Structure 1
Amino acid sequence: MPRALRVGVESAPTNFDMEQPVAFGDSVGSDISSSIYEQLTGPRPVRSGDGVWRVVWSDLEPQLAEAWWFSPDGRTCTFRLRAGVRSPDGNELTAEDVRWSWERSFGVRDVGKWVARISSVQEATDVEVVDERTVAFHLRAPNPALPRTMAQGTPNVYDSRVARSGQSPEDPWARSSLGARPAGFGPYRLARADGESLTEIEANPHYHAGPPAIGEVVARRYASNAEAVEALLGGEVDIVAGVPWSQLQAARAARHVRISPAASTAGVFLHLDPGAEPLDDPLVRRAIAHATPYRAVLQTAYAGGVERWYSWVKPESPGYDPAAWPYEEDLDRARALLASSKGAGGFQTTILTLPGEGLEVVAELLAERLGRLGIAADVRLEPQGHDRQGRVRTEGNLAPIMVRASHDGRGQRVAEPLYAYYHDWGPGRMRLFPFRYHNEEFFEALRAIPEAGHGAPWEAAVRRVQRLHNADAVMIPLCAQRYYVAHDRELEGYCWLPENRLPFVRMRWRS
C-alpha cells in the first residue's frame, strides 16, 4: 500500500474558501487549499548555494496557463490555458472558469477583489473570454504586476460547474459549499476534514501533470508546533512546518530528520507611530533609525542565521533596492538629530513586542541602545494567544514602537512592490490597516507605479517609492525572516513557496 504523508499541524481548518477571511488567515488551511487549487502562474522555487530555499519572481512558472503576454501598450494581459486540465470531478478547465472565478472575487468583495485592483483589474467585466482556452485581462494601467499577483491564493480558479451548483438566492457566491467542499484544478482533492483534529487530502486522479507521487496526505493537529516537532522526533509524523528556534538543535540532532530552511517573504522590523509624540517629528524617528543596533540584531537575536533587509519591498521582489535605506548605526548622528528635534533632552516611550522568534531580544537590544540617547524605553510583551493581528487591523499602532514579524513565516504572499506598500502604507481604503501614516508625496509616487509601464521606468518608480518611505523612518527594516521545515530524511523534493509552505505535489518518498 502506498505510504501516506503524515503532517503535524497546529490547527484544523474549518473553511477552505480563500475568499473568506477565516480561511485566508488560517496558515494550515492556506497550505492545504494551495494543494487543492492551482493558479495560472507561480514563482519558481530554487535552492541557493547556502542550502536555503528561495523563490524567483522574475522567472515565473506556468501552471494552469501555458503562456501569457502583454499587448504593446501594456493594457491587456492574455493567458493561454493548458489543454486537458481536469478537476477531480472530471470537468475540463476553460476560460469561462477563470472569468467566473474573478467575477466571484468581485462579488464576494474581499481579498480577491483587493488583489485584482492592485493588478489594475478594476471590475469583473475587465476579464474577457477570448475563446475556450484564452482569457484576456483588460487593465486600467500598463501595470506589469498581474502575472505575479496571480500566484496569490485568491482569486482562485474554480471548477465553475461544481462551484455554481452550490449557489442559492441566500448564498449567490456559494460561500457555504466552497468553504466545505473546495472545487479546484490542483493536484489534490479534499477527502476528509473534521474541523477538530484531522484533515485528509488525496490525489486528483485527473491532474494534468500526472498523479502526484504522494497519493494521500494526513494532517494531524497538535496543541502547538512545538508538540508537532516532538511528534516528528518520535516518528508519529513525517513533516512539520515552522520549527521553533528552541527546537532546531534537537531536530538537527535526530538522525532520521532533515531541516529545510527557507528565506520567507516576511521580515523583522520596527514600526514607529508617526502620530505619537515626540515620534511625530521625523527627526526623532531618524535618530532612532541611526541608533538601531542592526549588527547586534543579526548576531545576537538570530545567531547570524538571517540577512539584512532594507525596505518594505521584499528581497526576492523585482525592484528591491538595498541602496534605498539611508540610515546605518551611528550614535553620534543619532544624538545630533535628537538634539535638534522635539525629543531633545530625552523622553520616555514604550516598545511593544508582538509574539515571535527573537523579537524580545530585539526589543531589549533596542531599549539599551536608545538609553544611550537618553530615551527611556519600557519593553512590554504582547501575551501569547491575543488576537494581535486583529488588534493591529482594528487599532493600528498599538504602541509608539512595535517590534513586529510574521507569526507563521509566510508574510505577504506575493513579492510585488505595489502589493506590499498598498497593503500597509497606502492611501485611502486600499490600506488594510489603520496606521497613522500620511505622506502625499509618497502616496502620489505609489499611485504612479502602475502607470510607469514595464522595464526600466517601472524599476525607477519602485526605487523612488522605497526611498520616500524609508526617508520617513516609520518602518525600520531589520532582517528577512528565516523559516524552517523539519521532515523525515526519506522525504525528497521539499521546497518552500510563499503561498504554500507544504507543496505536497513536489514531494516523494525516496524508496
Structure 2
Amino acid sequence: MSSHSSLRSRRVRTRAAGAAVIAALLLGGCAAGSNQSSTTSGTAGSAAGTSGSGSAPAGASGELRIAIPAYPGSWDQDFVAFDPVALAVFKNVYPYLVDYGVTQVDGKPVMDTATILPAWAESFTSTDGALWTLKLREGAKFPSGNPITAEDVKWSKDRAFAAKANVAGVYSLIGLTDPSQITVVDDRTVTFQQAFPSALSEQIQAISLFIYDSKKMKEHATDADPWAKEWAAQNPSDGGLYNVSAATPGQEIVLTANPDYPAEDGPKTQTIRLTVASDPAAESLLLRNGDVDIALGLGRQEIADLSGVNGLTTITSPSNEMISMPMNVAAAPFDNPQVRQAVALAVPYDSIISSVYNGGARRPKSIVPIDMPGYSEAGFPYDTDLDKAKALMAQAGNPAITTQIVYAAESGEQQQIAVLVSDALAKIGITATPTPLDAATLGQRRAAKDIPLQITSGQQWVNDVEYLMNGWTTGAYLNWSNYSNPTVDAAVEKSHTTTDSAERTALWTQIQQQFATDVPVIPLAQPDFVLPVADSVGGYVQPVDGLIRLRYLTKG
C-alpha cells in the first residue's frame, strides 16, 4: 500500500454516497445524517428573525426542550475555549462544511470518525494527502440571503489564522500555518495546500471547517476591529442546520430548523428550546415535572436520583472520556519508576468501576482510549496486585512517602476515586491525602505543573493517537506529568508525516510499550455517557467529541 492510499480510500464522499450511508443508517434503526450546523440572525438578547423560505425542512417537526447548565460565554467560535455549552451550541448553529458519519459501538449509534461526510460542502478530496480540494454546494446560502462562496471560506480561515487560537492551533498539526496555503480557485472551490500529507487532515477539518457570513461580518468590522470580534461575540452566526430565532442572555436560546439545509440531511426536529438552569437541582426538577425533555450537564448522582421517575429514561452509550491519574515524574517521590509501577499495581480498578460508576464504565488497558484505532491492551499491563506493589516498593528502598491526590473540588466522582486510591496506597506504605482544588487554583497548579498526583478527566476531539500524543511530548501544555522520553517524542514527530495505516499502528505500539514501562499516567476508567431524557425522546447519537448533535434528535 502506498503511503497515501489509506487517505484516498477514506476521503470525503460525494453527496450521493453520503445519502446512501444515511439511508443505511435509517434502515438500521437510528436517525442519521451527515453534519450539523445552524444559523442565526439578529442580535443576542432579542428575537432574531430568520431568513429563507420559512418552511420547515422535510421531515422536521415538533419541539424539543432542553435544559442547559449555562448560557454561552461568547458567540464567537474562533475565541471560545473551555466553554462546553458554547461549543455544543456552535456545533449546531455554525455552518460546518463536513462532519462525521455514524457507526455502531456495542449496539449503540456513535459518530464515526473513519467516515467524513460533506454537509454544506459538495465534496472534500485529495489525491496525495497534502493538497485538498473543497467544493461547495451550488446554490448554498446564509439566512441573510448572501450566497455561501469560496470567499467566505477564505475569509473565515484568514480570520482563524489572525486569531491565533483554536483553529490555528489544530491546523498546525496538519501543516497549515499560513493563510497563503488556502486559495480560492473559483466561487465554489477552495484548495488547502498542507506542508505535508497528514492522516489527521479529515478529522481536523471536521472540527475546523466552519465558516462565517463574511459579507455580514465585514459590515460590523472597524479599523480597530477588522475581524468584527466585538460584534461576533454578542451575535450568533448564521448558516447551519439550525437558525437562532431568539436568544435571551442567561435565560433561553430558541433554535429553528434551517429551511435552506438539504432535506435529506436536515434536522429531524423543527424547534429546539434551550433553557438555562444553572442549578442542578433546578435542572432535575424541570425534567421531573415535564418542563424539559432533556437535561444536559447533570452529575451521575443527580441522574441516579432520577431513576424510576415515571416518564423518564436514561440513555447510555460508550464514551471515549478517559479518567486518568498523572504523576509528576520530575520530582520525588514519583521520579522513581518503581514507585510509579507500584502505584499502578495498587490502584483498585474494579472498585472504581463498581463503586464510582455503578458498573457503567469500561477499564482501558492503555493511555489510548478503547475504540481509538491503535488501542492495545499491552499499553498498560497492570492489575491490582498488592503483593507485587509491596515488592516494588521494597526494591525502591521502601521510601517514606507523604503526598496529595489532587482532584477537582466540584467533582463528586473524582472525590470518590481519590478516597479509594488513597486507601489502597496506604496498604503499600504511601500516605496520599485527597485534596480538592477549586477550578481557578487547579488551573494555576496545572499550569505550574507542580501537582504530585492528580485525577483528571478528558475527551479527545480527534479520534487518533497522533492527536492524543501531542499532549504527551516533552514540554507539551497538557503534559502535567512533566513526562519526557526521546523514544515517544521521536515516534510522535514521525507520525506527523506518516499516513500509511500499518506504519502508524507500529508507531502507536511503540509508544504504548514505552508508556507501559515508564507509567507517567495511570488510566483508570472510561465511564459510559449517560443522559436523562423523557421517554418520548429518540434518535440520540453519541458524539466522539462530547458535543451533542441536535440534528438526530426526535420527539414522538
TM-score, L = length of structure 2:
0.82
Instruction: State the Cα deviation string for residues 311-354 of structure 1 (Å, max 9, x = none).
Output: 3333333323333223232333322322222x624421111122
CA contact under 8 A between 2:109 and 2:540: conserved in structure 1?
A: no
Counterpart of 2:456 in structure 1 is: 404
**2:68 is aligned with 1:9:** yes
Counterpart of 1:146 in structure 2 is: 201
C-alpha separation in 2, matches of 1:453 and 1:158: 31
Q: Which amino acid aligns with 2:182?
A: V
**2:479 is aligned with 1:425:** no
Q: Which amino acid aligns with 2:541?
A: C
Q: Which amino acid aligns with 1:447?
A: E
How is 1:139-218 mapped onto 2 (pairs within 5 angstroms)?
Answer: 139-152=194-207, 154=208, 156-209=210-263, 212-218=267-273
| Cα shift at 1:272 | 0.7
CA contact under 8 A between 1:242 and 1:484: conserved in structure 2?
A: no
C-alpha separation in 2, matches of 1:204 and 1:392: 44
The partner residue of 1:347 within 370, 380, 401 is: 401
| Cα shift at 1:233 | 0.8
Instruction: State the Cα deviation string for residues 135-162 of structure 1 (Å, max 9, x = none).
Output: 222222221101112232x453222222
Instruction: State the Cα deviation string for residues 383-429 of structure 1 (Å, max 9, x = none).
Output: 5xx336633553334x31101224xxxx232222222222x32345x
SS at match of 2:528: strand
**2:168 is aligned with 1:113:** yes
| Cα shift at 1:254 | 2.2
SS at match of 1:242: coil
Unaligned runs of 5+ in 2: 1-55
Counterpart of 1:304 in structure 2 is: 359
SS at match of 2:342: helix
C-alpha separation in 2, matches of 1:155 and 1:113: 12
Counterpart of 1:42 in structure 2 is: 99
Cα RMSD between the aligned structures? Answer: 2.5
CA contact under 8 A between 2:315 and 2:530: conserved in structure 1?
A: yes
CA contact under 8 A between 2:378 and 2:512: conserved in structure 1?
A: no
The partner residue of 2:90 within 30, 33, 36 is: 33
Q: Which amino acid aligns with 2:205?
A: M
Instruction: State the Cα deviation string for residues 38-64 of structure 1 (Å, max 9, x = none).
Output: 4233223345445x4533212233323
C-alpha separation in 2, matches of 1:378 and 1:489: 43
Instruction: State the Cα deviation string for residues 350-405 of structure 1 (Å, max 9, x = none).
Output: 1112243522222222122212211111122235xx336633553334x3110122
CA contact under 8 A between 1:97 and 1:160: conserved in structure 2?
A: yes
User: How has the CA–CA distance of structure 1 residues 166 and 390 changed in structure 2, closer, same or farther, with 3 Å as cutoff?
Assistant: farther
CA contact under 8 A between 1:7 and 1:220: conserved in structure 2?
A: yes
CA contact under 8 A between 2:378 and 2:516: conserved in structure 1?
A: no
SS at match of 1:58: strand
Counterpart of 2:448 in structure 1 is: 395
| Cα shift at 1:499 | 4.5
CA contact under 8 A between 1:65 and 1:81: conserved in structure 2?
A: yes
Counterpart of 1:442 in structure 2 is: 488
SS at match of 2:237: coil
C-alpha separation in 1, matches of 2:73 and 2:65: 19
SS at match of 1:461: helix
| Cα shift at 1:481 | 2.5
User: How has the CA–CA distance of structure 1 residues 265 and 431 changed in structure 2, closer, same or farther, with 3 Å as cutoff?
Assistant: same
Counterpart of 2:5 in structure 1 is: none
C-alpha separation in 2, matches of 1:88 and 1:28: 23
State the percentage of identical aligned residues. 25
C-alpha separation in 1, matches of 2:246 and 2:145: 20
Counterpart of 1:56 in structure 2 is: 112
User: How has the CA–CA distance of structure 1 residues 39 and 499 changed in structure 2, closer, same or farther, with 3 Å as cutoff?
Assistant: farther
Q: Which amino acid aligns with 1:187?
A: L
